[in-house]
Amino acid sequence: MSKNNEKTVSPSELRTRGILAEKGVRISEKQAADELSSRGYGVTEGRELLLTFYEALYLLDRGVLEVKGKKGRVVGFQELLQHYEAVNENAWAGYLVYRDLRSRGYVVREGFGSGVDFRVYDRGDYSKDTAKYLIVSLQEGKPISIEDLSNVSKQTLSLKKELILAVMNRRGEVVYYSISELTLK
């Protein structure tokens, strides 16, 4: 996984509005929802696109999204982060890992059970192939049990994916470690 910055958003590029929801931010404008979905954001639910909190934070920070809350009041970055923290105690670490991976040009999708936070697609593979990497986000100083790490590693191997530990250090920087199976002969 090498660094390759995603293009910056120009003022003429898509800008949309979303509505704060219990599990993220809903986009109801069809053109915006289709465009974001094609770029690997959100999950389509009926006629709407539901962005996770970390996706919405990322798009809000980049100037692509404006979020409205109750009574049409604009929701800022800090308030949206607080909503995310209410459902995920590791919200800040998750967001920083997501932001870092997206800024490197990867399409990042929500993980699935057993501690996997994200599925990451190699550049150009989204919608053509399955995710190549499974990411587990950790914070420096917060331990993970060997049993939990072993379970995630076994699941990853059975899926023929590469397991990456994304460790956020105390300065907020993300360091990546590849985990592989040790075989003795």
Structural domains of the chain, with CATH: 16-87 (3.40.1170.20), 91-179 (3.40.1350.10)
Q: How far apart are CA 119 and CA 99, in angstroms?
A: 14
How many residues in the chain?
A: 185
**Residue 25 in contact with residue 56, Cβ under 8 Å?**
yes
* Mean per-residue pLDDT of the chain: 86
pLDDT attached to residue 72: 85
Q: Does 26 score more than 80 pLDDT? A: yes
3-state secondary structure of 153: helix
Question: pLDDT tens digits for 122-167?
Answer: 777 677 778 889 999 988 888 888 888 888 888 888 888 899 999 9
Instruction: Report the 3 state secondary structure along 39-102.
Output: CCCCEEECCEEEECHHHHHHHHHCCCEEEECHHHCEECHHHHHHHHHHHCCCHHHHHHHHHHHH
pLDDT attached to residue 182: 67
Buried b (16+ CB within 10 A) or exposed e, 75-107: beeeebbebbeeeeebbbbbbbbbbbbbebbbb
Residue with tokens 């592989």: 180
Cα angle 122, 109, 182; round to 5: 60
